[in-house]
Amino acid sequence: MKADRLRPLWLVGLLLAGPLMAEDQRQLATLPPPAQETLRQEMLANLVALNEILGLVATDKIKEAGAVAEQQLGLSVQGRNRDKPFDARPGPYMPQAMRALGMEGHRAASEFAKAAQAGARDRALALMPSLTNACVSCHASWRIR
Ligand code: HEC
């Protein structure tokens, strides 16, 4: 009886301790605050683009999905920070391995885009998981704070 009454408390303790005990295994990439801000804005835009692509594919607007993928996530976005002050550009501050994951993401998005814009529906569908592979890999390995 007594043990039963205590169980909820014990569970609360466990839940609170969880985040404290879970050690963050990701590597830290040190970016100056303006570059962090640029990265964060880009990331939010990435998620919006991904959401848009999923919506377009679901309504069979494959070519449109391809256009969004290329313009927002593909190789076309490279160099878009060129005109920003150096300390507001995330790229140069990223360790090589992190930058490579970003590149991989752009390449994969462009490959999807190419198939989708050509109207190759089955191939585009098969390539869809590659749109999020780089997001997941990078998030699992790197943090900026
Ligand atoms: C090259 C690495 C890399 C890739 C690729 C990448 N991200 Fe990120 N993302 C990050 C880092 C680093 C953070 C910040 C983590 C932190 O706060 O320490 C982040 C944060 C975010 C956030 C939170 C933004 C906020 O307001 O804090 C979102 C949303 C996000 N990413 C979406 C995406 C999506 C969607 C993709 C793929 C289309 C993607 N990211 C690809 C590295 C990456």
In short, whether 54's Cβ falls inside 6 Å of ligand 1 is no
Nearest CA to ligand 1 atom 30: 43
Residue % of the chain over a pLDDT of 70: 86
Q: What is the pLDDT of residue 117?
A: 98
Q: Of 111, 91, 104, 95, nearest to 42 (Cα)?
A: 91
**Cβ atoms 113, 69 nearer than 8 A:** yes
Nearest CA to ligand 1 atom 32: 43
The whole-number average pLDDT for the span 89-105 is 97
Could you tell me which residues come within 8 angstroms of residue 71 by beta carbon, excluding any fewer than 6 positions away?
77
**Cβ atoms 100, 132 nearer than 8 A:** no
Ligand 1 atom with the smallest distance to the CA of 104 is 5
143/139 Cα distance (integer angstroms) = 7
**Cβ atoms 126, 11 nearer than 8 A:** no
21/145 Cα distance (integer angstroms) = 18
Rounded to the nearest integer, the mean pLDDT of the chain is: 91
This prediction has a pTM of: 0.88
Check whether 10 has a pLDDT greater than 90: no
Ligand 1 atom with the smallest distance to the CA of 134 is 5
Tens digits of residue pLDDT in 21-65: 578 999 999 999 999 999 999 999 999 999 999 999 999 999 999
Domains and CATH numbers, the chain: 29-143 (1.20.120)
**Cβ atoms 144, 43 nearer than 8 A:** no
Nearest CA to ligand 1 atom 6: 135
